[in-house]
C-alpha cells in the first residue's frame, strides 16, 4: 500500500504541472484558505497553518521569478511564529489580545515603512536576472509585510490593506501563469472582506464593554 502512495502523489503532481500548476501551489492554496479563514475567526491555530503556507509559497514564487514575494514568504514564516507566540502569550498583562484600531501615529509610521521597503526592494530586485515586474511586486510585498505585522497585533485596518493588495495580486498571478494562486487570492479577497466585518464587530464589542 505504501509503495503505491508515492506513485499516486507523483501522478497528481504531474497532472498539476501539465495544467499550469504544481503540488506546492496546491498545498499553498489549501493551507492559505484555512489560514485566512481561521484569522477571521481570531483562532490561534491560523498561525501554524501560516507557517506551512509560507514554506509552500517560497517554492512557488522562486520558480516564477517573483523574488520579492519569495523573500516575503520568509518574513511571513517569521511573523507567523511571532503571531502564534503573541496571541498565545497575550498582551502586556498576559490578557487576551483584542482587536483595536490603528492610531494616527501608527498609520504614519507604517506608511513610512511601506514606502521605504518598497523603494529598497525594487532597487535590489530589479538587478536580479529573470525578475518579473520588480516595482509592482515590491510595492505589493511592502504593503503585505505591514498588513501581516498589523494582523499579529490585531489591528483592524490590516484587512483594508489585504483587500487592496488581493485585488492587484489576482491580475499579477494571472499574468505570471499561476491560475490556481489567482483563484486563491480571489478567495482571500472574499475572506479579507469577511475578516474586516468580523473584526469590526469584535472591536465594537470590546469598545462597548466596561
pLDDT tens digits for range 97-149: 899 999 999 999 999 999 999 999 899 888 888 777 889 989 998 999 999 99
At 17, is the pLDDT very low, low, confident or very high (cuts 50, 70, 90)?
Answer: low
Residues in CB range of 147: below 8 A, 6 or more apart:
158, 161, 162, 165
For residues 166 and 143, what is the distance between their CA atoms, to the nearest angstrom? 11
What pLDDT score does 2 carry?
Answer: 46
Q: Taking 80 as the threshold, does the pLDDT of residue 197 lie above it?
A: yes
Distant-in-sequence contacts of 41-50, Cβ < 8 A, 24+ apart: 41/198, 42/99, 42/154, 42/198, 42/199, 42/202, 44/84, 44/87, 44/88, 46/83, 47/80, 47/81, 47/83, 47/84, 47/87, 48/80, 48/84, 50/76, 50/79, 50/80, 50/83, 50/84
Mean pLDDT of 74-97: 85
Bridge partners (DSSP) listed for residue 100: 155
Give the chain's mean pLDDT: 87
Q: Taking 50 as the threshold, does the pLDDT of residue 26 lie above it?
A: yes
At 22, is the pLDDT very low, low, confident or very high (cuts 50, 70, 90)?
Answer: confident
Q: Which residue has the cell 516575503?
A: 72
Question: Of 161, 67, 66, which Cα lies nearest the Cα of 114?
Answer: 161
Mean pLDDT of 70-90: 90
What pLDDT score does 40 carry?
Answer: 94
For residues 32 and 125, what is the distance between their CA atoms, to the nearest angstrom? 25
List the alpha helices (DSSP H) in the chain.
4-18, 23-40, 46-63, 67-89, 104-125, 134-152, 158-175, 179-208
- Total structural domains within the chain: 1
Q: Using an 8 Å Cβ cutoff, are 167 and 140 in contact?
A: no
What pLDDT score does 1 carry?
Answer: 43
Mean pLDDT of 153-167: 97
What is the tens place of the pLDDT at every residue in 30-76? Answer: 999 999 999 999 999 999 999 999 999 999 888 887 787 788 899 99
Q: Which residues span the domain enclosing 201?
A: 4-208
For residues 92 and 96, what is the distance between their CA atoms, to the nearest angstrom? 10
For residues 168 and 192, what is the distance between their CA atoms, to the nearest angstrom? 14
Amino acid at each position: 500500500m505504501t509503495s503505491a502512495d508515492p506513485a499516486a502523489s507523483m501522478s497528481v503532481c504531474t497532472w498539476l504541472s501539465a495544467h499550469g500548476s504544481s503540488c506546492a501551489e496546491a498545498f499553498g492554496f489549501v493551507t492559505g484558505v484555512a489560514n485566512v479563514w481561521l484569522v477571521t475567526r481570531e483562532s490561534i491555530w491560523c498561525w501554524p497553518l501560516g507557517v506551512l503556507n509560507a514554506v509552500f509559497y517560497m517554492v512557488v514564487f522562486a520558480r516564477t521569478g517573483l523574488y520579492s514575494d519569495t523573500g516575503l514568504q520568509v518574513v511571513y514564516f517569521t511573523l507567523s511564529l511571532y503571531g502564534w507566540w503573541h496571541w498565545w502569550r497575550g498582551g502586556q498583562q498576559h490578557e487576551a489580545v483584542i482587536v483595536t484600531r490603528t492610531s494616527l501615529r501608527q498609520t504614519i509610521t507604517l506608511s513610512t515603512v511601506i514606502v521605504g521597503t518598497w523603494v529598497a526592494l525594487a532597487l535590489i530586485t530589479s538587478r536580479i536576472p529573470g525578475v518579473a515586474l520588480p516595482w509592482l511586486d515590491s510595492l505589493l510585498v511592502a504593503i503585505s509585510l505591514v498588513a501581516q505585522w498589523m494582523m499579529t497585533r490585531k489591528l483592524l485596518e490590516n484587512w483594508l490593506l489585504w483587500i487592496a493588495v488581493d485585488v492587484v495580486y489576482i491580475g499579477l498571478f494571472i499574468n505570471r501563469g499561476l491560475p490556481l494562486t489567482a483563484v486563491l487570492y480571489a478567495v482571500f479577497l472574499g475572506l479579507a472582506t469577511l475578516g474586516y466585518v468580523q473584526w469590526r464587530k469584535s472591536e465594537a464589542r470590546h469598545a462597548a464593554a466596561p
